[in-house]
Amino acid sequence: MKKISLSLEQRKAMWGYLFILPWIIGFLLFFIQPLIETLVFSFNQVDIKDTGIVKTFVGWDNYKYALRVDPDYVRALTDSIKTVCLQVPVVLVFSFFVAVLLKQKFVGNKIAKAVFFLPVILASGIFMKMQLDNAKIDAAVGLTSSLNDESQTLAVLRSFKIEYYLAQAGLSEKMINYIVTPINQLFTVISSSGIQIFIFLAGLHSIPDTLYEAAYIEGATGWEAFWKITFPYVSPLILVNTVYSVIDNFTAQSNTAMTLILQTGFEKYVLGTAGAMSWIYFIIISGILGIVSFFISRKVFYQN
């Protein structure tokens, strides 16, 4: 029997498909049917009756209602896109800067890594639900809510009077808002950077030390080594983290468009309109990801 030999590229492709196989199975079993149902709902008026779900075809009416009639949807989309444009660059720069610091050897390095990853755990669905439940219990017995404590903590992190000083310096209102918004969202930026920090950190650890040694022998400075070695080697991870950050921001519980869609579908039970809103949202996210991936991938350095 003739032995089948695979080339290196074929073996890499096989391992790649093997790694994404659990996702493919999960998508086919749990996501493909709801995805199709949502698309069908978006073209129908959906009524929930005792006999079950009754669908009446209305064509593009749900999409027209979402974009032209609903008073909140377009504003929520605009706010979501604006938040992504402001927050994602800050998260990427912050996470890369922290990863570079955590790569250094110093006392308490592991504790520092745990501190930066802790917000990821605390922001998970389970802990958020526990926090909300505790807040309701505290409110019922007349105690101070933990959510109020969080609001007070965030108030301390606000930008104080920095807007006034920047205005006195002659900066425009648009530039002041761009500077102040990340400061006001400091807690959000830190809690949204945990995964990105460790992705960057893994990429930094994969760079061979011999490259830096050879560069320093040739007289390269630390700044030159960063731009000629470090940055090109982690550039693929910049693309990965950008895509992850955009999706994470668009699907966050604090996202206004997501909140509106959930309220429309699961509180008002207007499933047809909610389906149309979801697909408009999905198309916008896909378009943004396509544009971002196209431009960043042109500058990515892949090691052969």
CATH number at residue 81: 1.10.3720.10
**Residue 42 is assigned to a structural domain of this protein:** no
Give the position of tokens 């950008």: 242
| Whether 2 and 89 share a structural domain | no
* Residue 259 predicted with pLDDT over 70: yes
| Whether 84 and 203 share a structural domain | yes
**Residue 266 is assigned to a structural domain of this protein:** yes
User: Under 8 Å CB-to-CB from 206, ≥6 apart: which residues?
Assistant: 233
Apex 50 CA angle, 47 and 64, nearest 5: 5
Alpha helices in 104-169 (DSSP H): 109-122, 125-140, 146-156, 162-168
* Residue 40 predicted with pLDDT over 90: yes
| Whether 24 and 79 share a structural domain | no
Q: What is the pLDDT of residue 281?
A: 93
Q: Six-digit token pair at 145?
A: 């809510």
Confidence of residue 145 (pLDDT cuts 50, 70, 90): very low
Q: What is the pLDDT of residue 304?
A: 61
- Among 25-29, 127-131, 181-185, 295-299, top mean pLDDT goes to 25-29
Considering Cα of 136, then 137, then 138, then 142, what sign does the dihedral take?
positive
Structural domain that includes position 134? 127-156
| Whether 23 and 101 share a structural domain | no
Q: What is the pLDDT of residue 189?
A: 77
* Residue 44 predicted with pLDDT over 90: yes
| Whether 93 and 224 share a structural domain | yes
| Whether 244 and 271 share a structural domain | yes
**Residue 133 is assigned to a structural domain of this protein:** yes
| Whether 141 and 233 share a structural domain | no
Per-residue pLDDT, averaged over 256-267, amounts to 89
**Residue 40 is assigned to a structural domain of this protein:** no
| Whether 140 and 117 share a structural domain | no
67-90 burial by CB neighbour count: b if 16+ within 10 A, else e?
A: eeebeebeebbeebbebbeebbeb
pTM: 0.74
For the chain, give the longest Cα–Cα distance: 82
At 287, the amino acid letter reads G
- Residue in 187, 112, 100 with CA at minimum distance from that of residue 151: 187
Q: What is the pLDDT of residue 301?
A: 77
Q: What is the pLDDT of residue 102?
A: 86
* Residue 208 predicted with pLDDT over 60: yes
Q: What is the DSSP letter of 65?
A: I
| Whether 273 and 200 share a structural domain | yes
Q: Which of 136, 156, 176 is the last residue of a domain?
A: 156
Q: What is the pLDDT of residue 135?
A: 54
**Residue 291 is assigned to a structural domain of this protein:** yes
**Residue 62 is assigned to a structural domain of this protein:** no
- Which has more pLDDT, 145 or 64? 64
Q: Six-digit token pair at 13?
A: 């492709």
- Residue in 131, 79, 86, 129 with CA at minimum distance from that of residue 260: 79
* Residue 138 predicted with pLDDT over 90: no
How many independent structural domains does the chain possess? 3
Per-residue pLDDT, averaged over 281-299, amounts to 90
| Whether 114 and 140 share a structural domain | no
**Residue 303 is assigned to a structural domain of this protein:** yes
| Whether 149 and 284 share a structural domain | no
The strand pairing partners of 53, in sequence order, are: 48
How many whole angstroms separate alpha carbon 272 and alpha carbon 277? 9
**Residue 254 is assigned to a structural domain of this protein:** yes
Q: What is the pLDDT of residue 65?
A: 92
Q: Six-digit token pair at 71?
A: 């008073």
CA distances from 147 to 124, 143, 166, 236, 258 (A): 16, 11, 31, 38, 21
* Residue 30 predicted with pLDDT over 50: yes
Confidence of residue 43 (pLDDT cuts 50, 70, 90): very high
Q: What is the pLDDT of residue 274?
A: 92
Per-residue pLDDT, averaged over 44-56, amounts to 85
- Which has more pLDDT, 69 or 157? 69
| Whether 88 and 209 share a structural domain | yes
Q: What is the pLDDT of residue 157?
A: 45
